[in-house]
Amino acid sequence: MPTLTDAAIFDALRHVQEPELGRDIVTLNMVKDVRIDEAARAVSLTIELTTPACPLKDEIERNVNAALTNLGAEQVDLTWGAMVRRSAPAQPQQLVPGVKNIIAVASGKGGVGKSTVSANLAVALAQAGASVGLLDADITGPNIPLMLGVHGQPVASANNKITPLERYGVRVISIQFFVPEGQPVVWRGPLVGGAIQQFLRDVEWGDLDYLIVDQPPGTSDAQLTLAQAIPISGTLLVTTPQEVALLDVRKALAMLRRMSVPIIGVVENMGSFVCSHCGEVTEIFGRGGGERFAQENGIEYLGSIPLDVTVRQGGDVGVPVVAQREPGPAAVALTNLARTIAARMSVRAAAADQQPVLSIT
């Protein structure tokens, strides 16, 4: 039986690929803290994932165990770590220098569930172990505080910046924290843009793996401000299946492409309703509109989120569906969406990484 050595272990693990990135885990410098007990034929190691929300962790674990077992290890003790990588190079004078990935959520049309997707996406990523912030950029129609059940007024930090409030492990900022309950924000475009820039520049976001930005509907000042002020890693488009929603999301996509903002893909919200009593499926808003839109425009279709009464119930009382005790079909779909987006950000980070990747020989 061959002797277990560091060199032999790393050679064996060069055959294990990170499925999303298409490169082996040794070249990607994901293998850490290898320890060998030759007498017990045991190997312990840490695999540092590119995101704690990695959707293919089980596949990596199976392949690592198989590679080391084939080498002669009788016991494999695998520990997981995670180091989220920056998907866009840091820029001088960047407004949010500690944020590695900025994910915008847009729709073009109001009422399609964009804020619901934003809130649940942020919470799901935080549940996976990522550090997450959520910026409610809908200045005239802020809904995020209600959906997360977060209330209060932020205070100044030691650096004289705004300290975001926190709920479900997510750092949150919204104009709603600064205006009396029920008072409208009646501002012209430049004031809206200025408020968004202040929330980027003057908030103590700290170090974040992901900053989710809930954009308002439309293609106006808020969207232009965000596209010009920060390096958006990718935009998630949210639509419902019917044509009236697709009409507006087409305009949003055209604007984003004109501004050279990366697109992650499109998710179809409120895709179908399954009766809890009889099991009958009713497609209230039609069927397949989001998937057709993705195919027609050459972007990725990220799936459908079903109509689920628990989404509305949770949003009304500040408990996102992914944080509820008994997750329903919408919670499963939103959790899977978060994992998919995290994986896509890892791929973009690997492509954007200009530094040579370390390897151990």
Q: Is 235 helix (H, G, I), strand (E, B) or coil?
A: strand
The bridge status of strand 42-49 relative to strand 75-82 is parallel
Report the pLDDT value the prediction gives residue 357, as an integer from 0 to 100: 41
* Terminal-to-terminal C-alpha distance of the chain: 22
Q: Minimal CA–CA distance to 297: which of 265, 345, 268? A: 265
Report the pLDDT value the prediction gives residue 353, as an integer from 0 to 100: 66
Angle at 12 between CA 11 and CA 15, to 5 degrees: 100
Report the pLDDT value the prediction gives residue 60, as an integer from 0 to 100: 96
Report the pLDDT value the prediction gives residue 195, as an integer from 0 to 100: 93
pLDDT tens per residue, range 226-245:
988 889 999 999 999 988 89
Between 325 and 149, residue with greater pLDDT:
149
Q: How far apart are CA 144 and CA 138, in angstroms?
A: 9
Q: How far apart are CA 183 and CA 270, in angstroms?
A: 30
Cβ neighbourhood burial of 316 (10 Å; 0-12, 13-18, 19+):
exposed
Q: Say what the pTM is.
A: 0.91
Report the pLDDT value the prediction gives residue 356, as an integer from 0 to 100: 43
Tell me what the pLDDT averaged over the chain comes to.
90
Lowest-confidence range among 2-6, 33-37, 295-299, 335-339? Answer: 2-6
Q: Which residues contact 258 (CB under 8 A, 6 or more apart)?
A: none
- Mean pLDDT in residue range 211-237: 91
pLDDT at 148 > cutoff 90: yes
φ, ψ for residue 24, nearest 5 deg: -75, 155
Q: What is the Rg, in whole angstroms, of the alpha carbon atoms belonging to the chain?
A: 22
Q: Is 292 helix (H, G, I), strand (E, B) or coil?
A: helix
Q: How far apart are CA 163 and CA 173, in angstroms?
A: 9
Percent of the chain past pLDDT 90, that is, above it, reads 70
Q: Minimal CA–CA distance to 221: which of 193, 256, 185, 250? A: 193
User: Considering Cα of 173, then 170, then 352, then 343, what sign does the dihedral take?
Assistant: negative
Angle at 200 between CA 199 and CA 203, to 5 degrees: 65
* Whether the Cβ atoms of residue 207 and residue 169 lie closer than 8 Å to each other: no
Q: Where are the domains of the chain?
A: 6-82, 99-352
pLDDT at 354 > cutoff 60: no
Report the pLDDT value the prediction gives residue 92, as an integer from 0 to 100: 57
CATH number of 99-352: 3.40.50.300
Q: Which residues contact 306 (CB under 8 A, 6 or more apart)?
A: 270, 271, 272, 273, 274, 329, 330, 333
pLDDT tens per residue, range 30-73:
999 999 998 899 999 999 999 999 989 999 999 999 999 999 99
Q: How far apart are CA 246 and CA 307, in angstroms?
A: 18
φ, ψ for residue 213, nearest 5 deg: -115, 110
Lowest-confidence range among 77-91, 108-122, 175-189, 204-218? Answer: 77-91
Q: Minimal CA–CA distance to 253: which of 237, 267, 242, 241? A: 237
* Whether the Cβ atoms of residue 153 and residue 176 lie closer than 8 Å to each other: no
- Mean pLDDT in residue range 106-116: 92
* Whether the Cβ atoms of residue 252 and residue 120 lie closer than 8 Å to each other: no
Q: How far apart are CA 128 and CA 329, in angstroms?
A: 18
- Mean pLDDT in residue range 157-163: 90
* Whether the Cβ atoms of residue 105 and residue 215 lie closer than 8 Å to each other: yes
Q: Which two tokens stand for residue 64?
A: 């690592």
Query: Under CATH, which architecture does the 6-82 domain have?
Result: 2-Layer Sandwich (3.30)
Amino acid at 330: A
